[in-house]
Structure 1
Amino acid sequence: MAQETVVKRSPSKEKFVRFQFAIRLFVLVLFLGWMFNWIMKPTNTYTKRWLPRYRAKTNNSTYFGSKGAYLLMYTFPVLLVATLGCVYLHIAKKLNDSNTKSCNAKKRKETIWKRPVLIKGPLGIVSGTELAFFLMFVVLLVWSYTASVRYSFATITPKLAAKDGDKVWEEKLESASLRLGVVGNICLAFLFFPVARGSCLLPLLGLTSESSIKYHIWIGHIAMILFTSHGICFIIYWTVTHQISQMLEWNKNDISNVAGEISLLFGLFLWIATIPRIRRKFFELFFYTHHFYILFMVFFIFHVGISYTCIMLPGFYLFLVDRYLRFLQSRRHVRLVSARVSPCEAIELNFSKSHGLTYNPTSVMFINVPSISKLQWHPFTVTSNSNLEKEKLSVVIKSEGTWTRKLHHLLSTPSTIDRLAVSVEGPYGPASTNYLRHDTLVMVSGGSGITPFISIVRELIYLKTTFKCKTPKVVLICAFKNSSSLSMLDLILPISGTPYDISDLELQIEAYITRDQELKEDGPVHPKTMWFKPNPSDAPIHAILASVASATFLWNKAHIAKETNQIQNMEGTTPTVSPNSMVYNVDRELESLPYHSLIHATNVHYGVRPDLRKILFEHKEASVGVFASGPKIMRQDVAAICSSSLAENLHFESISFSW
């Protein structure tokens, strides 16, 4: 039996850990100070004492000017946190690599706050921590609105209202309407943080961009409710006070009503397209209308002015930086080496990547194929392992929608294509992973939900093969509709030529075929591989830039071109079966020892569904990591089981890439 490699923590590693802790502590202080500004903002203490003092000190400043108070209180802290986040990520990567090599993972007991507390409902699967922060955010909004309205109403008197030609209730309606917009701006300040895919803030909280999409959805709905109420209430006010002409005012030095109305209209178009039924049935409509956020933000800035924009500026600015970096990465086509087409209409795309590009399991990459659509980008799970497969990056795509069906049709007729132009963004994933902390991993998937688990299995293969780590027992439960989908299991094995050994991995696969009563072999059983000819203009996939300057990109361009040429020279001899054929069946790989090991580890059940409760409760180990990926109902069922008081050893995690 292979001995477990154990490496003691070195002094340099201790230093990194302490430095990382110091960064998180300082970030926590900054964040609490930033939040304290939001809490105090609706009070008289803030508006009559603190803000005037800030303005007095910054208005005469050469560097800040009239916008200085808002920049110092709201913009600067977040940008400083983002800078520290970059340092934190760099240290986290070093520590993650060190932990991987040491194979000395600590068994940490999961707190009750991380267990699912809400399973079904409009918020989806929500843990105790997520629910607590969501409720605190709602309390902040309620406090900001009620406090500001209360202080405002205290200044409205019959005498003052009569002076303006209004009634008291009309003045109060105007004040309440204005405060709805102010509170909506708080939502806008948080709205863009979750959608910055390469964010250096989310990893500080242990989040990824894909897992944070739900926060963007929650905040977006609340923001649009507040902004819509803000607009409707003002229209009512202008109507009852006979000032409907105010709707046509564009004030260059103050609030511009027309700009606000235009911004709200774009927001409403965007919001309507996010209705789940519309989004699922007309995804392209949802995709294109979501770009109205650009016009929404432009007219919002015209509406409130530059000074007030500084309050919500940090999140939007970081999103724009992220978007610019993604644009730089996606400018060139990447080198697509091969494609494995499965009988179940699943496609594995294998790209060339630079040796310096590393990523963690369950990462996601966005793909654009101009020959199908020049504008559409779709996210797919990265199934390869950056350590095990140093020169290749793979994603698996299941033919389920219009775009994916077109791609499958394109690649299932290989005689018509010998090169496919592809652009990518990413990969994006967790800053660190530690699957060794569990005694057992139970991975429950439905359909194409198996793809993120392929990357986890390959990570464990790498740890077992390279460092002789003691890896947890792996139980993969996969449910498919038809027996042809069993070919998805072949994709668990890395591409041919990669040094690995799956036989030492304690892997158990339970495959459930729900519609077929027996194996049906109407066509090819195993995937077929298509090799593409190299093109000088294609580049290997590189990591997204960590700098915002175009000069950095141009400085790296020569190095990228040099590495591209080296990789293309190595790949110039593309394997083929014959000069006239670009397709062949991977018989040699399928007859290998790893393939037989995969067969022996697999049990197939026909015409039944997995009894998830029985399967999960059978595992009595101290720490069982339960991962669920696939249909929403299946993930909810697994979450409900893991939230039971009888399942204290089950630690649930949902892997969802649905928008």
Structure 2
Amino acid sequence: ILILVIFLGYIMIWIMMPTNQFWLHWLPDIHAKTDSTYLGQQGANILIYTFPILLIATLGCLYLHLDKYGDDSDNRRREDQYLNSWKQPALVRSPLGIISWTELLFVLMFIALLVWSFYAYVHGMFKNITTQSASKMGEAVWEVRLDSVALLLGLVGNICLSFLFFPVTRGSPILCLVGLTSESSIKYHIWLGHTALTLFLAHALCYVVFWANTHQISEMLKWNRVGISNMAGEVALLSGLAMWIASSSPVRRKLFELFFYTHHLYIVFIVFFVLHVGFSYSCIMLPGFYLFLIDRFLRFLQSQRKICVTSARVLPCQAMELNFSKDPRLNYSPSSIVFINVKSISKLQWHPFTVTSNNRLDPNQLSIVIKSEGSWSQKLYAKLSSLTPMDRLEVAVEGPHMPPSTSFLRHDMLVLVSGGSGITPFISIIRELVFLSNSHEETPKVLLVAAFKKSPELTMLNLLLPFSGTPHDVSRLQLQIQAYITRDTNPSKESQKQPMNIWFEPSVSDAPVSGVLGTSSWLWLGAIISASLVAFLLLIGLANRFYYIHPIDGARSVANLVFLCMSVVIVATLIFVWNKKQNATDGRQIQSANTPTQMASPTAASGLERELESAPEEYFKQVTTVHYGERPNFKKIISECEGSDIGVFVSGPEKMRQDVAAICSSGSAKGLRYKSYSFDW
């Protein structure tokens, strides 16, 4: 309740900000009561714009630490049933993709905020623009109004910028509180980015037209030491436009590396944006960037560990399963995400993959599946499938980043619809259900509808079982698999081949995958947020006490940015090192049980694993029906499912997600709960 009250107060600030009541009464009163020798005017701005969100984040960390993950109480069930009705598709084939009722509501509310802000600013400024006031400035009325509109477009654009970094903060407590992950909310970042840069571009063009008509075009080259720096704003805009162009769908899909590297211009954008408007005004957008900065630095620290890859499976369909040793104390939920960097292929590229292992079925192992589709994954496949034995494969790992809930347990039946490599989120879900069914817990019936283009891709179903097999009775899970091969009418020889199993030689320098902040990560993250903010305020307070710098000064802005980064780096590093030492006392042994002393031949290793897994594999063969040369009829399949609460999960191409969403949102559909996994943004 406290978090909700603070958030509503923060939203009220945004609603009131364009009004004269805010600028003429509220803000002056706040400044009069909070301005001090130590923090000056920026102290009030930090209190109004920055502190509420960081307080919400800190309280959110405490709540998430105390909250029992995966609570299945009756109250939680009723709450989920109510919320699920709002999460169902409202628009299926819109220009923005599949939009739920909740998303539609918030999009409309955000648009209303932008329209209201622009209208209120225009109304407040235009009423003071008269022929007499314009003539005193030696300008026409339309020119003065154009000058005002240019300013207002920038102010409204700052609203979008203020929310831009929240969706891409992977370990954000705020995203978890609202039931989102950074991967599922990437589209919000894209929408906000498009809107912000459209407004900023219009802001700049209006000023150029104004300066050109009033013979002040030289203003474009002015870099004022005190006040607004026009040239700094232009540099920020150019870096933003470069990111915008590189983020367009054709460039992003065909030239991903260009998109990836160009996006690092956000550093240039932020620095010159702060130089453009001053640090005090930048406090409006500071909360999102502050949390992003903490998250980004923690991910950097985690990525410095050398992770041990214990084994791999290479499938005939050019898919690979990588298995890492894992700290048994690291807990994650099904469909979690990790980011992987293979330095021998690229030192800078990071790629997201779904975790396919199960935390309870494989307590010492974390697994991911990679389909060879791009240049990076093709190079990795070439390394693994090479006939030359490999001693090691060094990787760096960020994550895992968990979804906010495991709602699949609350359905009577699960329909898992996948296309190609989209099956990966469902592997971890099925493994979780296998474990729960053997723990005498009630589990839903499961229907897996897997569509593949070619018959060799059927071997992806082999990944439903862990690399080392499982002692659990998989037949206790009520599972049916309907596999569809759309382009082949008969099985091919490739589909009959067995996966190639590979073991890697461990090294003393390798470390298991573990949490960046240990087992109490939420608690430590809250400590970093609060302690770094205190350190930051102390640094700028001391600087203001002994050195006077103008409130809107480039030197002050640079100094405050440096203090901000110093605070985050020092506090986060100290807590990270403390946790690392604490974990070291419990031992950091590499989990390589049942690994041969030397690299076994693929044939012998494969035979051993097949013998261990023969019983579960026989069960999977019995429950699997393969349809060659057919496409799944989703409407028929879903309509034949029985249950009052059916969870329909989809992971695959956009058209597949749209087709299934249309069925779930149709008036005739009852008891269907739609959820999609999308990684093709």
TM-score tier after normalising by the smaller chain length = over 0.9
SS at match of 2:97: coil
What's the counterpart of residue 450 of structure 1?
A: 423
Taking a change above 3 Å as real, the CA distance of residues 522 and 382 of structure 1, as seen in their structure-2 partners, is: closer
Distance in 1 between residues matched to 2:494 and 2:124, nearest whole Å: 74
Distance in 2 between residues matched to 1:580 and 1:112, nearest whole Å: 53
Contact 2:504 2:599 in 1 (8 A): no
Contact 1:532 1:582 in 2 (8 A): no
Q: Deviations over 1:597-619 (max 9, x none)?
A: 11111100000000001001112
Single out whichever of 584-593 and 295-304 deviates more from structure 2: 584-593
Distance in 2 between residues matched to 1:356 and 1:313, nearest whole Å: 34
Equivalent positions of 1:523-542 (< 5 A) are 525-542=497-514
The answer to whether structure 1 residue 586 and structure 2 residue 606 are counterparts is yes
Taking a change above 3 Å as real, the CA distance of residues 573 and 609 of structure 1, as seen in their structure-2 partners, is: closer
What's the counterpart of residue 5 of structure 1?
A: none
User: 2:576 is matched with which residue: 549, 553, 558?
Assistant: 553
Distance in 1 between residues matched to 2:84 and 2:279, nearest whole Å: 44
What's the counterpart of residue 17 of structure 2?
A: 41
| Alpha-carbon shift at residue 458 of structure 1 (Å) | 0.7
| Alpha-carbon shift at residue 401 of structure 1 (Å) | 0.6
The answer to whether structure 1 residue 360 and structure 2 residue 333 are counterparts is yes
TM-score (norm 2): 0.89
The answer to whether structure 1 residue 413 and structure 2 residue 386 are counterparts is yes
| Alpha-carbon shift at residue 312 of structure 1 (Å) | 0.6
Single out whichever of 611-620 and 192-201 deviates more from structure 2: 611-620
Equivalent positions of 1:505-524 (< 5 A) are 505-522=477-494
Distance in 2 between residues matched to 1:57 and 1:246, nearest whole Å: 36
SS at match of 1:120: strand
Q: Deviations over 1:156-215 (max 9, x none)?
A: 122221221211111100000000001110001100000000110011111111111111
What's the counterpart of residue 146 of structure 1?
A: 119
Distance in 2 between residues matched to 1:524 and 1:262, nearest whole Å: 58
Contact 1:184 1:223 in 2 (8 A): yes
Contact 1:89 1:431 in 2 (8 A): no
Taking a change above 3 Å as real, the CA distance of residues 579 and 122 of structure 1, as seen in their structure-2 partners, is: closer
Distance in 1 between residues matched to 2:599 and 2:467, nearest whole Å: 22
| Alpha-carbon shift at residue 558 of structure 1 (Å) | 2.9
SS at match of 2:510: coil
What's the counterpart of residue 88 of structure 1?
A: 63
What's the counterpart of residue 7 of structure 1?
A: none
Taking a change above 3 Å as real, the CA distance of residues 110 and 152 of structure 1, as seen in their structure-2 partners, is: closer
What's the counterpart of residue 330 of structure 1?
A: 303
Contact 1:441 1:624 in 2 (8 A): yes
Distance in 2 between residues matched to 1:564 and 1:424, nearest whole Å: 20
Contact 1:110 1:651 in 2 (8 A): no
Distance in 1 between residues matched to 2:573 and 2:623, nearest whole Å: 50
SS at match of 1:540: coil
What's the counterpart of residue 224 of structure 1?
A: 197
Single out whichever of 66-75 and 222-231 deviates more from structure 2: 66-75
SS at match of 2:392: coil
What's the counterpart of residue 475 of structure 2?
A: 503
The answer to whether structure 1 residue 119 and structure 2 residue 92 are counterparts is yes
SS at match of 2:482: strand
Opposite residue 655 of structure 1, the aligned amino acid is Y
| Alpha-carbon shift at residue 524 of structure 1 (Å) | 5.5
Equivalent positions of 1:153-192 (< 5 A) are 153-192=126-165
Contact 1:367 1:425 in 2 (8 A): yes
What's the counterpart of residue 65 of structure 1?
A: 40
What's the counterpart of residue 538 of structure 2?
A: none
The answer to whether structure 1 residue 261 and structure 2 residue 283 are counterparts is no
What's the counterpart of residue 422 of structure 1?
A: 395
| Alpha-carbon shift at residue 589 of structure 1 (Å) | 3.5
Distance in 2 between residues matched to 1:111 and 1:463, nearest whole Å: 23
User: 1:438 is matched with which residue: 386, 411, 420?
Assistant: 411
Taking a change above 3 Å as real, the CA distance of residues 573 and 612 of structure 1, as seen in their structure-2 partners, is: closer
| Alpha-carbon shift at residue 560 of structure 1 (Å) | 4.0
User: 2:457 is matched with which residue: 447, 463, 485?
Assistant: 485
Distance in 1 between residues matched to 2:373 and 2:443, nearest whole Å: 34
SS at match of 1:479: strand
What's the counterpart of residue 6 of structure 1?
A: none
SS at match of 2:173: coil
SS at match of 2:284: helix
SS at match of 1:415: coil
Distance in 2 between residues matched to 1:585 and 1:158, nearest whole Å: 88
| Alpha-carbon shift at residue 582 of structure 1 (Å) | 6.5
| Alpha-carbon shift at residue 95 of structure 1 (Å) | 4.4
Distance in 2 between residues matched to 1:564 and 1:105, nearest whole Å: 39
Distance in 2 between residues matched to 1:647 and 1:585, nearest whole Å: 48
Q: Deviations over 1:369-404 (max 9, x none)?
A: 011000000000100011111100000000011100
| Alpha-carbon shift at residue 27 of structure 1 (Å) | 1.3
What's the counterpart of residue 8 of structure 1?
A: none
Taking a change above 3 Å as real, the CA distance of residues 110 and 45 of structure 1, as seen in their structure-2 partners, is: closer
Q: Deviations over 1:32-66 (max 9, x none)?
A: 1101000000101001000100111111x355421
Opposite residue 496 of structure 1, the aligned amino acid is S
Contact 1:460 1:471 in 2 (8 A): yes
The answer to whether structure 1 residue 645 and structure 2 residue 667 are counterparts is yes
Opposite residue 133 of structure 2, the aligned amino acid is L
Contact 2:157 2:200 in 1 (8 A): yes
Contact 1:105 1:436 in 2 (8 A): no
Single out whichever of 256-265 and 544-553 deviates more from structure 2: 544-553
Taking a change above 3 Å as real, the CA distance of residues 523 and 436 of structure 1, as seen in their structure-2 partners, is: closer
Opposite residue 603 of structure 1, the aligned amino acid is T
| Alpha-carbon shift at residue 571 of structure 1 (Å) | 2.6
Number of aligned residues: 627
| Alpha-carbon shift at residue 574 of structure 1 (Å) | 2.6
Taking a change above 3 Å as real, the CA distance of residues 473 and 573 of structure 1, as seen in their structure-2 partners, is: closer
Taking a change above 3 Å as real, the CA distance of residues 637 and 573 of structure 1, as seen in their structure-2 partners, is: closer
Distance in 1 between residues matched to 2:281 and 2:95, nearest whole Å: 32
Distance in 1 between residues matched to 2:69 and 2:310, nearest whole Å: 32
Distance in 2 between residues matched to 1:579 and 1:269, nearest whole Å: 48
Taking a change above 3 Å as real, the CA distance of residues 579 and 386 of structure 1, as seen in their structure-2 partners, is: closer
Kindly report the root-mean-square deviation, in angstroms, between the aligned alpha carbons of the 2 structures.
1.9
| Alpha-carbon shift at residue 274 of structure 1 (Å) | 1.1
What's the counterpart of residue 322 of structure 2?
A: 349
Taking a change above 3 Å as real, the CA distance of residues 507 and 111 of structure 1, as seen in their structure-2 partners, is: closer
SS at match of 1:119: strand
SS at match of 1:530: strand
The answer to whether structure 1 residue 615 and structure 2 residue 663 are counterparts is no
Taking a change above 3 Å as real, the CA distance of residues 435 and 573 of structure 1, as seen in their structure-2 partners, is: closer
Could you list the runs of 5+ residues in structure 2 that have no partner in the other structure? Answer: 529-571
| Alpha-carbon shift at residue 109 of structure 1 (Å) | 5.5
SS at match of 1:586: helix
Contact 1:454 1:491 in 2 (8 A): yes
Contact 2:84 2:673 in 1 (8 A): no
Could you list the runs of 5+ residues in structure 1 that have no partner in the other structure? Answer: 1-24
Single out whichever of 553-562 and 316-325 deviates more from structure 2: 553-562
Q: Deviations over 1:101-134 (max 9, x none)?
A: x9x9668366542210111132111101100101
What's the counterpart of residue 359 of structure 2?
A: 386
TM-score (norm 1): 0.92
What's the counterpart of residue 30 of structure 2?
A: 54
Distance in 1 between residues matched to 2:321 and 2:186, nearest whole Å: 25
SS at match of 1:198: coil
SS at match of 1:348: strand
| Alpha-carbon shift at residue 252 of structure 1 (Å) | 1.9
SS at match of 1:442: strand
